[in-house]
Amino acid sequence: MKQLTKILMDGGSGLNILYAKTLNEMGINQTHVHPTRALFHGIMPKKQAMPLGQIDLPAIFEDPSNYRMETLTFEVVRFPRTYHTILGRPCCTKFMAILNYTYLKLKIPGPGGVITIGTSLQHTAAIVTFRELAAIKKEVTEEAPKKHLTPRS
């Protein structure tokens, strides 16, 4: 699991961007990137940009007792980077996130209540490989209490 500490949440962007360097640091081979022919604009001034392709990866927003995981589609680009990733409207929509630019907070509904993510590292975001995802799902299943449902009369 790669903890991402430099994330830009851009509610005005129609893309989730993951930099090729971040992908390499995560140990994910670029053969998992699906080719795309879609150009996009507005990233580099007055230029069209061609991504290396797209990749679907699980993303997790968490605090110690509450987390939320969704699979996001990222455009993989080979640009110089300041951030690990840029999360746009597709991420906000998938996580049902509310951005508050005044307080630099992100609020996401989670199974144990609202997850509030600010500029501190108390709550983190992570992107996991599919092998790690399988291990997380197994661990959660084993730790989950068994609930017996009884029919209502």
Ordered domains of the chain (ranges, CATH): 2-135 (2.40.70)
Q: How big is the chain, counted in residues? A: 153
Q: Can you list the pairs that 40-48 forms with residues at least 24 positions away whose Cβ atoms lie under 8 Å?
A: 40/15, 40/75, 43/17, 43/77, 43/79, 44/79
Cβ contact 84:4 at 8 Å: yes
- Does residue 142 carry a pLDDT above 60? no
Question: Using 50, 70 and 90 to split pLDDT, how confident is the model at 150?
Answer: very low
* Lookup: tokens for 31: 């053969």
What integer best gives the mean pLDDT of the chain?
A: 78
Other CB atoms closer than 10 Å to residue 116's CB: what's the count?
Answer: 18
* Lookup: tokens for 142: 């084993």
d(CA 65, CA 115): 10
- Does residue 51 carry a pLDDT above 50? yes
Question: Using 50, 70 and 90 to split pLDDT, how confident is the model at 86?
Answer: confident
Cβ contact 128:136 at 8 Å: yes
Question: Using 50, 70 and 90 to split pLDDT, how confident is the model at 53?
Answer: very high
Higher pLDDT, 147 or 105: 105
- Does residue 115 carry a pLDDT above 90? no
Other CB atoms closer than 10 Å to residue 73's CB: what's the count?
Answer: 15
**Global pTM value:** 0.72
- Does residue 128 carry a pLDDT above 80? no
Higher pLDDT, 2 or 39: 39
